Amino acid sequence: MVGQRFRYSRWDGSQKGFDFDAFDVLAELTDDLMYHGDPMAALRRLMQEGFEDRNGERIQGLREILEQLRQERQQRLENHDLGGVYDEINDELTDLVGQERQSLDDRAALADMELGMAADGADGSDGSDGDPAPNEAVRNAELAKETTASKQMQLDMLPDDLAGKVRGLQNYEFESNEAKQRFEELLDKLRQQLMEQQFNQMAGAMENVSPEDLARMKDMMAELNRMLEQRANGEEPDFERFMEEYGDFFPDNPQSLDELLENMARQMAAMQAMLNSMTPEQRQQLMELSNQLMEDMDLNFEVSRLGQNLQQMFPDAGWQQSYDFSGFDPLGFADASQMMQDLGQMDQLEQFLSQASAPQSLAEVDIEQVKRLLGDESAQSLERVSELAKMMEEQGLIQNKEGRLELTPRGLRRLGQQALGDLFSKLSPDKIGKHDIDASGIGHERNYDTKPYEFGDPFNLNIERTIGNAIRRTGGGTPVRLTPDDFEIERTERQVRSSTVLMLDLSLSMPMRDNFLPAKKVAMALHSLISSQFPRDYLGIVSFSEVAKELKASDLPEVSWDFVYGTNMQHAFQLSRSMLAKESGTKQIIMITDGEPTAHLLPDGTPFFSYPPARETVEQTMAEVVRCTRAGITINTFMLDPDSGLRGFIERITALNQGRAFFTTPQTLGDYVLVDFIEHKRKLLSGRGRRAS
């Protein structure tokens, strides 16, 4: 765009803006996927625990959100008191009655003054000046005093309960127009709040309601009850016709009868929960007031009938729920109504989150509701967690296969790369560097080194070095003109094919000693290393416990330990030797184990197990080592937490086969295996000859 300007600054690590993507999710899931290979179980764990995104921001898991939810609910209960529901209304009635009494006192005082004036004028005047005759003025003043006294008595005899007090004032003729207006406004407010509590969807329909509107509302509720009875009798009500006639009562625009009824049940249950949470005296006062107001609107019967129908239809909506308010901050009727709705929503949210079985199910959560109840952070966390599986599916890392999530080939490759990266990141900087090789040759593996071009060399031009040579020669300027003396080429290694079988111990001792996950991670890392850096090499995988079996790379994520006893190295060596017999190049076996051989195959193919190891098992295993040695297969063994028995046995294998043995731990296993594999590969390259630089 013409005139558009941009400003750039050096990255200092404090800036934000990188979105958390599917590859970040997979990185978070690496260990879980390595352990059991189930993407859904791994996503479920991430959903529960939460994580940090690449900006370092915490994405809350369900456990944190549930704990925050419980704390928020407890704080509300400890801070507030439902007594204000009664007190607010009663105080307003007391105040307006006091205002009415003042008006009556003023009227009585005026009547006394008029009586006094009438007495002073009793001198025989006939009232010819137009004023009422003295005896008529006296009668009016006396009548006024009697009326005010009668009204004062009516006010004195008002019942103590709210409903009775409201009923008494409804039948009372106010002296004060202002007090009368305040009472009528209070009734309208109470009716509105009551309808909001009972049926929040219809609250808008109660504003400035006319007698005709009330009659129509009564008809609507009667029709709703009739539809419920139709449903109970197995008939299908005409919901569309109902919404055409009464849809203006429901601004939320429910899409089905079930949705409408569920919302109404939840709101009526919240009202019942508020009554359940009050003291018996408070409950009695509010119930009588509610019945009084409903009776005034001629809705009592239909509302009661609807409540009974909804309780039968939604018995688990929380009709018996109650809350123990223990604070001192009184809640008014409107605030209490909102509080009960909030608490009910918290209960439902807690129940839903506690039962959530997969991140995608969180998409059903009302994010705006969560934001109002718990704040932006929790709402944003839930929204992001709900998208985890969708993100991974869209990036082709997982797929839904017959209702089950599985890693795709792309996901498998990425998981192996992640495992490889994790292991390489733990290596000391000098562990690879100390194996430098001086010579290079014609091939495809880059050596990340260059040399001046000589006639006959492959023309693998290094552009950066070549142009740099030309600039240094000419002193700069454009255009840059090249000569053959500027050419610098990349050194490449000769490719030497090697074949490797990784023997992975899956006996029960591996998970019991926490050796399973590191061993499996090494297997995936080796697969990723060989397939990406040495694509012509062969890597086979053999698992062994009571028996041995060949594994495909695609099987690795779901591989788990065997719930049987036995470490059958004999069968594993036999199977590995058979697999390598079909391959070419230098051949080796890498065995990862944490125990002595305790099983072997009998002549009929059935496994034999004995612990401590039987002599026959050891002899059969060593016989297979001899066969591997004769076949030119080198055996390198990585022992995890070895005891004296395993150490002695492996030393026998090493002496016989001339391979190498590593006594290692789960934490350093990856370091040893990767360094040794690369060392082995470079020795092969060095031993096969290179083209001198």
Q: Residue 458 — pLDDT band, cuts 50, 70, 90?
A: low
Cβ atoms of 607 and 600 within 8 Å: the answer is yes
CA-based torsion, 397, 403, 404, 408: positive or negative: negative
Would you state the pLDDT for residue 1?
Answer: 43
Task: Answer yes or no: is pLDDT of 442 > 90.
Answer: no
Token pair 């764990």 is found at 45
SS3 593: strand
Cβ atoms of 310 and 265 within 8 Å: the answer is yes
Task: Answer yes or no: is pLDDT of 460 > 90.
Answer: no
Q: Residue 509 — pLDDT band, cuts 50, 70, 90?
A: confident
Cβ atoms of 330 and 87 within 8 Å: the answer is yes
Residues in contact with 140: Cβ distance below 8 Å, sequence separation at least 6, in sequence order: 114, 132
Would you state the pLDDT for residue 129?
Answer: 52
Q: Which residues of 101-136 are buried (b: 16+ CB within 10 A; e: fewer)?
A: bebbeebbeebeebbeebeeeeeeeeeeeeeeebee
Query: 574-592: per-residue pLDDT in tens?
Result: 999 999 999 888 888 988 8
- The span from the CA of 108 to the CA of 421, in Å, is 95
Instruction: Please tell me the least confidently modeled range out of 206-220, 229-243, 647-661.
Output: 206-220
> Tokens for 363?
């998409």
Task: Answer yes or no: is pLDDT of 505 > 50.
Answer: yes
Instruction: Please tell me the least confidently modeled range out of 6-10, 362-366, 442-446, 506-510.
Output: 442-446
Query: 142-190: per-residue pLDDT in tens?
Result: 888 888 888 889 888 888 877 788 888 888 899 889 999 998 888 877 7
Cβ atoms of 586 and 499 within 8 Å: the answer is yes
Would you state the pLDDT for residue 19?
Answer: 62
> Tokens for 18?
């990188």
Supply the DSSP symbol for 133: P
Amino acid letter at 658? Q
Task: Answer yes or no: is pLDDT of 628 > 90.
Answer: yes
Q: What integer is the mean pLDDT of 45-70?
A: 85
Q: What integer is the mean pLDDT of 370-379?
A: 89
Which long-range CB contacts under 8 A does 220-223 form with residues at least 24 apart? 220/245, 220/246, 220/249, 221/299, 221/302, 221/303, 221/305, 221/306, 222/302
Would you state the pLDDT for residue 580?
Answer: 92
Task: Answer yes or no: is pLDDT of 37 > 50.
Answer: yes
Would you state the pLDDT for residue 579?
Answer: 93
Which has the closest alpha carbon to 669: 530, 437, 514?
514
Instruction: Please tell me the least confidently modeled range out of 17-26, 532-541, 684-693.
Output: 684-693
> Tokens for 619?
């002899």
- The span from the CA of 340 to the CA of 345, in Å, is 8
- Higher-confidence residue: 29 or 76? 76
Task: Answer yes or no: is pLDDT of 446 > 70.
Answer: no
Query: What is the residue-averaged pLDDT of the chain?
Result: 78
> Tokens for 400?
């839904």
Supply the DSSP symbol for 441: B
> Tokens for 272?
């019942």
- The span from the CA of 234 to the CA of 237, in Å, is 9
Q: Residue 342 — pLDDT band, cuts 50, 70, 90?
A: confident
SS3 386: coil
How many CB atoms sit inside 10 A of residue 354's CB? 10
- Higher-confidence residue: 405 or 496? 405
Supply the DSSP symbol for 427: S
Q: What integer is the mean pLDDT of 636-651?
A: 79
Q: How many Å separate Cα 645 from the centre of its chain? A: 48
Which long-range CB contacts under 8 A does 601-609 form with residues at least 24 apart? 601/547, 601/568, 601/570, 601/571, 601/574, 607/546, 607/547, 607/566, 607/568, 607/571, 609/546, 609/565, 609/566
Q: What integer is the mean pLDDT of 674-679?
A: 65
Would you state the pLDDT for residue 648?
Answer: 83
SS3 561: coil
Instruction: Please tell me the least confidently modeled range out of 36-50, 93-107, 663-677.
Output: 663-677
- Beta strand ranges found along 302-397 (DSSP E): 329-330
Number of H-type helices and E-type strands within the chain? 25, 16
CA-based torsion, 521, 522, 523, 526: positive or negative: positive
CA-based torsion, 559, 565, 570, 571: positive or negative: negative
Would you state the pLDDT for residue 424?
Answer: 58
- The span from the CA of 540 to the CA of 503, in Å, is 9
Domain residue ranges in the chain = 22-79+345-375+382-407, 83-122+130-344, 450-490, 498-687
Task: Answer yes or no: is pLDDT of 198 > 80.
Answer: no
Would you state the pLDDT for residue 421?
Answer: 65
- The span from the CA of 571 to the CA of 254, in Å, is 66
With residue 499 as reference, give the H or E element that holds it: strand 498-505
The domain defined by 498-687 folds into Rossmann fold (3.40.50)
Instruction: Please tell me the least confidently modeled range out of 74-83, 294-303, 383-392.
Output: 294-303
| Greatest mean pLDDT range, 29-38, 121-130, 212-221 | 212-221
